[in-house]
Amino acid sequence: MVTVQRLRADHADALLAFERENRTYFARSIPDRGDAYFTGFADRHRALLAEQAAGDCHFHVVLAGPGDLVGRVNLVDVADASAELGYRIAERAAGRGVASAAVEQVCQLAATVYGLATLTAVTTLDNPASQGVLGRTGFRVVAEIRIDGRPGLRYQRRLVG
């Protein structure tokens, strides 16, 4: 069973291990975070928790079982009852419905706990898996865009509380 938990300080070690384990996999479809992300991870994690405490963002880890961190789903740039959704799922969990289940759970939290009315998300055209997740979870294409020079799509989902 897939569950999401709001990011906490004690997730740091598992989250860093997840990012390291999947770095090459993620770099196939999105820009690499760079070495500085990993060497400064502890400071970055503290900064994310501070952003979350201020209400600017809502960060979540995805668990496939107790202590089995297989992803993250984040809501960033929270303003005017909207936010942008982003997610990463481990290679070993890909293709099993984990992303769809986690995104749906975070959409429910966004509506009922965080008081958001609209979410946006973006993906490149060469990432059909992400397009599928967004389509299955109620997001609709609203624009064609460019992401780091690559063609992509902007999606939107209106939430019901």
Domain boundaries, the chain: 3-158
The answer to whether 57 touches 76, Cβ cutoff 8 Å, is: yes
Taking only the tens of pLDDT, the chain with its 161 residues reads: 899 999 999 999 999 999 999 999 998 887 778 899 999 999 999 999 999 999 999 999 999 998 899 999 999 999 999 999 999 999 999 999 999 999 999 999 999 999 999 999 999 999 999 999 999 999 999 999 999 888 999 999 999 86
CATH number assigned to the domain covering 3-158: 3.40.630.30
Q: In terms of pTM, does the model score above 0.85?
A: yes
The answer to whether 31 touches 152, Cβ cutoff 8 Å, is: no
Q: Residue 67 to residues 2, 44, 92: CA-CA distances in angstroms? A: 12, 21, 15
